[in-house]
Each structure stands twice: as structure tokens, then as C-alpha cells.
Structure 1
């Protein structure tokens, strides 16, 4: 066990032998930090937080009461093999959030990037890969093996089917069930989620140039109409547009997909 002398730990909390607690950590009452856990500098556990498994939490992440971080996967194939959960910097992980270790079949690592807001009762399953500045609103359930790129917002009570990819800057409306891949910067909503346009508000808030937004809108229209399959139409966009945002959308469509795509109505 390695506890930095500047760390503040409530006497009711349990830090198991082997755990690493970094500089200026604050661990409130009735927390449990497992033997294979590493807490970076400035990590805050409010109270009643359980962190277990081979889990690392990077600097300045704050975890609120009753969260369960690093428990074994909810996967019947898991048989105790060594896997990991890696959580980045400056995340805010709210009440009752659950995050599970990875599985060997999914690469062995569940990973959460930096500056994310994971709101109350959200679930991040085994082998999920979450980028930076993502918001999971209350009670979002992200199933195993999903890949969520940077700047995504997923509305409350939504479910993301296993193996789904969600592209950068997409927004998912509340109460949506997403069963196929979501294009970067897309707007998706509905009980059985449908692609309903572009996340124009999000693009403008991030200061994306008007020319790039116009090119994205034109590219989106070309994906909706025209000859050939969805992937064939996407491939032709490389020839018609000179925008990094359009290029990223094309690369996303041409990448590996286990679930297919939500396509424009």
C-alpha cells in the first residue's frame, strides 16, 4: 500500500494493501479502495464509493457517493481473468454510476478519457471505449464493446446496444434506443432511434467554421440521396468536399462496423 502523506482519508474508509493513493487525494467516509487500485493526484471520493479490480483513476477526477467502479463485467463468459478499467483526468462521475472491467474477448480494457461528465445511475459496461468531453445523462446504459468518440452527448434513459460506435460530436436524444452506428455530428432521437439530421447547435457552440458546417450539411444531403449503397455514396464524398469534418465522417463510415449504420430518413 502506498498512500501519499498529503492524502486525506476518513477513518471509516478501507484502503486495502497494495492500493496506491496519490498526492492530495480526498477519500470521504465509508469508501473501499481495492488492492489493485491506483488513484492519481487530487482524486476525490465523496463517500460510500467502492473502487475494485485493476482500476486506475487519473488526476482530479471526482467520484460521488454510492458509485461502483471497477467491478467484474456483467458478462457470463467472464471467468476471473485479469482485465482493467482505466479512467482519465478531470472526470465527474456522479451518484450510483457503475463502470466495469474489460473482458479478454473485448481487448481486456474498459477506457474512459478526460473531462467527461457521467451523470447519476449511468452504466459503462465491459470493453467500452469513451473519448473526451462526453456527457452521459442520467440512467444512460452503454452496453459492452461500444465506442463513443469525443464531444458526444447521450440523453437521459437512453440505451446503446453492444458494439455500437457513436461518432465525434453526435447528440442522442433522451429515451432513445440506439442499435446501429451513429455518424459524427449527427442528431439522433426517437424510441427506436433514427438519424434526424446534424447536431448544428453543437457544431456552432464548438466554433466550427461556417464553411465546414455548410459542407457537412451538403454532404449529409448527398448521403440521403443518390445512387449506390450508403457506403458507396459516402466514398464519393471524398471527391466532392474539402473539409476535415466531412473527411472524418467518410472515414467513420468506411471503418469497421459490427452493427451497420443509422441512415438518413
Structure 2
């Protein structure tokens, strides 16, 4: 059902079973999948492609131009949103720029609370939680199962690994390895996200192995190269440690310390 006061561009492609509330505006080159519910006073600009069963609350503004002075209206600028996401009031998500293939990507089953901002060229995985006012600058990568507390800010080009947790008000200016818990301004590693891992079904022996890799990196008094060598030995027989090692090797901004 589309409310009589909603404005939908003629080029928008909408599945037949979606709902669009009063005074919402759906722009050109927008695709919205089946089962989506769009609240009142929502703005969706294109090119934006949205999957199925997303819930978009009032006063959300997504698919808007990148807030980047290098952007000059290039046509290769788009937003992709997967399935089953919850996007609460006043969330803003910008499209990508030519510096990163023109794409901002949001995966599946994410929970974005009120006033979250996701900037141009960000990549967000699946099953994440962004608490109120969490903010991503441009080109940030957030892996699966990450939780960002309220008012967390992430610097441009930073990466946050899978199952990591950032406490409220954390300011992240370097890469956060998988499974880690960070807090502070600027964010520092505080340990492993043990509670989160338990909720995801990690048993005690599995968590102990991850903690061993964490301690090798952060608590053994080793240089990064020395720690990497030891972690590589642990990774030979454990996929979690292998993921931890792969993230270390791929880090470009250096790791939180």
C-alpha cells in the first residue's frame, strides 16, 4: 500500500507488496524489494537498490549524494542494501563515489538505531548493530556481527573485524582486529568480546584459542612482526586465528594499540 501523499518517481521499481507511508519521497532509479515497509516522511534517492523485508522508519534519508567535495554528480554513484535490515529514525546513508567503484554497500539483517550515519563508500556486512548516533566516515569497512555502541565514531578508511565490539563514545582511528573489544578516545584494545562470542555460540575452548592469539599480539611485549610470526603458527590449525592473522596482514592504517 502506498499512501496518497507519497511521491514516487515513475522510474522507481517497487514490488507489489510493499508499504510506503505518508509524505515519503521515492526518487528516480530506486528499486525496493518485496515485503519492505517504508514509514512516513522517508526520503530514498537513487540509484539505490534495496532487497526484501527491510523496515525503514520515519525521517530516514538514504541514497543521497556523497558528502565529499570531490563528488561532482558522477553517474556511477549508488547504494545497495540487502534483506531484513532495520533502519530507525533519522538514519542517513550516502551513495558511493568513483574513488571506490561508486558503491556504498549494506548487507543483510543489520540493526541501525536512530541518528546513525553511514558515509560514502562504506561497506557494512551482515548481522551488525549500530547504536544511536554511531557514525562511519567515508570508506569504512564493518565486518559481520560487529556491534558499535552509542556515539561511536569511525575514522575514514578504518576497518573493524568480525565479532568486534566498540564501547559507547569510542573514537576509532585505526583498524580493530576481529573478536576484539575496544573503548576510549582514541579507542584502545581492552580484551576479547567474550560475551558477544558466547552469544554467537562460541564454546569455551574456541574462545580460549582466540584469547591466546589476542595476548600474543597485545600482551606479550612483542613487535608486530614477532607477534605475527607466532600467530601464524597458531593459525595453521585454527580458522579463527587464521581470520585474525589475515586481518592483521590486510591492515593499512595499522591496528588499535
Is 1:19 aligned to 2:38, yes or no?
no
Is 1:252 aligned to 2:247, yes or no?
yes
Aligned to 1:171: 165
Once the 2 structures are TM-superposed, how far is the Cα of residue 235 of structure 1 from its aligned partner?
3.6
CA contact (8 A) 2:175 2:251 kept: no
> Which blocks of at least 5 consecutive residues in structure 1 are unaligned?
1-7
Q: CA offsets per residue over residues 58-78 of structure 1, 9 Å max, x none? A: 100010000000000000000
Aligned to 1:5: none
Once the 2 structures are TM-superposed, how far is the Cα of residue 212 of structure 1 from its aligned partner?
1.5
Distance in 2 separating the partners of 1:203 and 1:180 = 22
Aligned to 2:91: 97
Relative to the length of structure 2, the TM-score reads 0.96
Aligned to 1:243: 238
Aligned to 1:4: none
Is 1:70 aligned to 2:63, yes or no?
yes
Q: CA offsets per residue over residues 201-233 of structure 1, 9 Å max, x none? A: 011111113222111111111112447531441
Aligned to 1:207: 201
Residues 225/196 of structure 1: CA separation in 2 closer, same or farther (3 Å cut): closer
Instruction: Specify which of 190, 196, 208 is matched with residue 196 of structure 1.
Output: 190
Aligned to 1:53: 46
Distance in 1 separating the partners of 2:134 and 2:120 = 15
Distance in 1 separating the partners of 2:115 and 2:193 = 25
What SS does the corresponding residue of 1:197 show, helix, strand or coil?
A: strand
Instruction: Specify which of 156, 159, 182 is matched with residue 153 of structure 2.
Output: 159
Once the 2 structures are TM-superposed, how far is the Cα of residue 103 of structure 1 from its aligned partner?
0.3
Q: CA offsets per residue over residues 116-153 of structure 1, 9 Å max, x none? A: 00100000000000000001100011000000000000
Once the 2 structures are TM-superposed, how far is the Cα of residue 158 of structure 1 from its aligned partner?
1.0
CA contact (8 A) 1:119 1:139 kept: yes
CA contact (8 A) 1:153 1:171 kept: yes
Distance in 2 separating the partners of 1:126 and 1:235 = 36
Aligned to 1:121: 115
Once the 2 structures are TM-superposed, how far is the Cα of residue 57 of structure 1 from its aligned partner?
1.0
What SS does the corresponding residue of 2:83 show, helix, strand or coil?
A: coil
Distance in 1 separating the partners of 2:208 and 2:228 = 17
CA contact (8 A) 2:216 2:230 kept: no
Distance in 1 separating the partners of 2:234 and 2:184 = 31
Instruction: Specify which of 60, 73, 80 is matched with residue 86 of structure 1.
Output: 80
CA contact (8 A) 1:93 1:119 kept: yes
CA contact (8 A) 1:235 1:254 kept: no
Q: CA offsets per residue over residues 72-130 of structure 1, 9 Å max, x none? A: 00000000002110000000000000000000012210000000001000000000000
Relative to the length of structure 1, the TM-score reads 0.93
Aligned residue pairs total 255
